[in-house]
């Protein structure tokens, strides 16, 4: 072996400075435990409580993809409007997930009766606005017309 090759090998395995112990491999330190502790501390300050008994969580995105969590750990703080879902997840297509949900609920006949109960048409899914606002008639927010004169009624009542 030549000296150049030895110097190259010695520089690759030396972790510290001059006089330190040589190691074959650098020790990799994981910071995930500190990040997890910090996250748990923040959640504790928000006052989240664990919700037991949830078998599955589906998050359906606008682009047609879905994130499925099986047997997740779900924590919630209603006051802070915060929900935490943790656990192993799978990326799936929304059509596949909805088809399996439909089969689990008893198929198309039960879905039609569910749609009728929710106020939608019997032939398809209930009317749903993904922005979160229900489809309401436009005139519901108007102030009703005044039907009588309240001053005259109050004066008549006082007499």
Interval 60-106: pLDDT, tens: 888 888 999 999 999 999 888 889 999 999 999 888 888 777 777 77
| Residue 125 pLDDT greater than 50, yes or no | no
- Which is more confidently placed, 54 or 14? 54
The answer to whether the CB of 58 falls within 8 A of the CB of 74 is no
The answer to whether the CB of 115 falls within 8 A of the CB of 122 is yes
Instruction: Report which DSSP code applies to 75.
Output: E
| Residue 129 pLDDT greater than 70, yes or no | no
The number of residues in the chain equals: 159
* Cα-Cα end-to-end distance for the chain: 120
Q: Which phi and psi (to 5°) does residue 46 adopt?
A: -75, -15
């Amino acid at each position: 072996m030549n000296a150049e090759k030895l110097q190259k090998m010695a520089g690759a395995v030396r972790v510290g400075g001059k006089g330190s112990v040589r190691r074959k491999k650098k020790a990799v330190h994981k910071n995930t435990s500190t990040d997890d502790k910090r996250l748990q501390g923040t959640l504790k300050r928000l006052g989240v409580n664990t919700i037991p008994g949830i078998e599955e969580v589906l998050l359906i995105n606008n682009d047609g993809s879905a994130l499925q969590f099986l047997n997740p750990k779900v924590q919630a703080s209603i006051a802070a409007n915060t929900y935490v879902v943790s656990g192993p997840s799978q990326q799936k297509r929304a059509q596949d997930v909805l088809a399996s949900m439909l089969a689990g609920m008893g198929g198309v006949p039960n879905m039609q009766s569910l749609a009728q109960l929710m106020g939608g048409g019997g032939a398809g899914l209930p009317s749903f606005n993904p922005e979160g606002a229900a489809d309401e008639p436009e005139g519901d927010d108007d102030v009703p017309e005044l039907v009588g004169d309240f001053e005259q009624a109050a004066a008549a009542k006082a007499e």
